[in-house]
Structure 1
Amino acid sequence: MRRVLIIILLLVVLAMAALFGGYRYWQSRLAAPIAISESTLYEVPRGAGYHQVVSELVAQGVIEDAWAFRILARLEPQSLPRLRPGEFRLEPGMSGRELLERLGSEQLVTYPLTIPEGWTFRQMRDALEAAPKLEHRTEGLTDAEVMALLDREGVHPEGWFFPDTYLYHKGMSDLELLEQAHSRMRATLDEVWAERADDLTIETPYEALIMASLIERETGAPEERREIAGVFKRRLERGMRLQTDPTVIYGMGERYAGNITRADLRESTPYNTYVIDGMPPTPIALPGRAALEAAVDPLPGETLYFVAKGDGTHHFSRTLREHNNAVNRYIRNR
């Protein structure tokens, strides 16, 4: 009897040793470096489950011991990451556990998309459609249909998207980037409008957005924005037409080929500020924060005219005679 007990005890000890050894070996396989020798991109497909990802990683030669990861799912399901769709960069020397942590982390591979200040909404949509890693949900839709998807049905899109560099990852949609840009513009416009000057001619945030788009299209020189805003403010106060060329160009649409003729200046469009009184009905571009700030805080002064000098800046004049002389100097003699 004693001999039997000793044998049973030995068997138990051996079994426990085997289990412990097996457990240690299993853990060592999870801690072992993955089977890559250089940085590798791996994409977690949208909707993919843990076992599908493990199978793909085995098929791509990234991991070798699929059994270790399948046992992990059975014994430690609470330790499994919530996989995120998108691309991740896997590095040599990472362990299997570190790989899993990476696939459930925020460390997605991102790509920049720059929307410059002064671009139109059409140009922004073209850039989105050309972004190769984006999911193109708005392709083929009209501007009105896009705005409806953004819960802004009936709103003209021009001006309502903040120009900036946005980061996106594979699996994101163009609609998500549009939502980001639209939220940024609405928040920025609210902030800027709250700090507006007391004696503005414009009366609403939307009018500030329109004015900022005119300023954005007129100059890229930071020191000129408030002075151009001041010129527009004084012209509106005196009942003078704004007579700003970018509105003519915007009204021409795709017909614009690089030149404005006298006939173009006389053409009656809703945007031609040589013909209409006041501001155009909508913005003509996507203004940045600096243009928005200038629109709500014009520089006081007496200037009523300005003309491009050809170097990116303008000559400002108080009288029509002075302005005509400046036109002769900078335009006709160029």
Structure 2
Amino acid sequence: MTAQTPVPAPHIPVLLDEVLSALRPIEGGVFVDGTFGAGGYTRALLGAGARTVIAIDRDPTAIAAGAALVTESGGRLKLVHGTFSELDAHAEASGHPAVDGVVLDIGVSSMQLDEAERGFSFRQDGPLDMRMSLDGPSAADVVNEMDGRDIALILKLYGEERQAGRIARAIVAARGTAPLTRTRDLVQVCEKVLGAKRFGEAHPATRTFQAIRIYVNRELDQLVEALAAAERLLPEGGRLAVVTFHSLEDRIVKRFVQDRSRTVAQGSRHLPEAMVPPATFRLIEKGAVEPSEAECARNPRARSARLRTAVRTAAAPRPVDGRALGLPDVELSDRRAGA
């Protein structure tokens, strides 16, 4: 019997009902899907009566794959190849300086994970790439050219990897024999340091792949900039929905919506009351919304998802401090291998 290539699971948008409930898409409304991916949220917004959806993706393959939906929408979908950190500029260029809602689904898409040639997954062998936009330095450039101390810092801050130093030293030792060019090369280094995967535990390469992917794509910086762009774009009553999949992302979104919705100063009751800037958002839910057990059973990728939502007030947008939101303070030496 001939072995068959596994068929990737179909893309299922996470917390879709909850996102639609938060955004309240109205007949004739205009919405931004800052992370188009396979088009799950966009299709749902169009189906709920949105007059226009401006969908953004930095991945050219996602844009190409969305061409059929553009045709199907009858002109209601505007597909933009670009970064969601500039979502306000993309919306304005599309003729919409203000919109009714913004949805962001942060992180790597299931399509990217399922395509071995993109190099995002430690479960499939492929080129060590991980670039969402298909340009700029790749994951292979990071592990083969960066100083070991910088690699360790990336793994620690972006992957929260406790064994960052050991893994970085193992990467440097391995590349001294031959460059790491495949995902399996990096997986083998991680397994050499941490051991093989055990049943019921996360794969030993999980945090390393996450860290390098986030660094290569500037994902957390892009997220901070996207939140600021959404605040600039949304008018009073406009709605924001953000889905995250790991603690670094969720921490940034949580601190942003908490800071922007605060009306009382934090601090000691013994100190004079501090001035609090006018709140730019009002929380829809005080905490994060998590997927149900039924959704997790249908879609295992939903397990770590968190949704945070807010409604824009009339207050003027404010500058954003990424460090205060939890953006890691990464100061790399810019040393190169062998330098």
Q: TM-score range by the shorter chain?
A: under 0.3
Structure with greater Cα Rg: 1
Choose between structure 1 and 2: higher helix proportion.
1
Ranked by relative contact order (alpha carbons within 8 Å, sequence separation 6 or more), the top structure is 2
What is the TM-score when the length of structure 1 is the normalising length? Answer: 0.23
